[in-house]
Amino acid sequence: DAGITQSPRHKVTETGTPVTLRCHQTENHRYMYWYRQDPGHGLRLIHYSYGVKDTDKGEVSDGYSVSRSKTEDFLLTLESATSSQTSVYFCAISASVTEAFFGQGTRLTVV
């Protein structure tokens, strides 16, 4: 299995609070991605990174920010969590335009 660790695995937070999810990889892959998975919508891309300090927006980026200060870590921040951000969040990595590998997911509930 690709070395991808997401933390935390589960989190319950209150509306309006900031939340940061972490993705850590041991594969030294250049590309890292954050997706969310919701019933009826499937997986959708939030943000992605193509190198240290190089990030860009995906399909559903509103309300989210990311940072990548080291190759191995990609952080997803919800500045002020809303109930619509209750979801399962997946991190993925890839070396180039090749096979993508996914983490085990973080289940976030905003109450």
Partner 1 sequence: KQEVTQIPAALSVPEGENLVLNCSFTDSAIYNLQWFRQDPGKGLTSLLLIQSSQREQTSGRLNASLDKSSGRSTLYIAASQPGDSATYLCAVKGGGADGLTFGKGTHLIIQP
Query: Given the rule CB under 8 A, which residues bind partner 1?
Result: 31, 33, 35, 40-45, 48, 50, 56, 58, 90, 92, 97-105
Q: Which residues pair with 74 in a beta bridge?
A: 23
Q: Which of 83, 98 has the CB closer to partner 1?
A: 98
The SS3 call for residue 54 is: strand
Residue type, 94: S
Q: How far apart are CA 17 and CA 19, in angstroms?
A: 7
Report the distance separating Cα 91 and Cα 89, nearest Å: 7
92 versus 110: smaller Cβ distance to partner 1: 92
Q: Which is nearer to partner 1, 17 or 28 (CB)?
A: 28
Q: Smallest distance from the beta carbon of 78 to partner 1, in angstroms? A: 19
Give the three-class secondary structure for 53. Answer: coil
Min CB(45)–partner 1 separation in Å: 4
Give the shortest CB-62-to-partner 1 separation in angstroms: 16
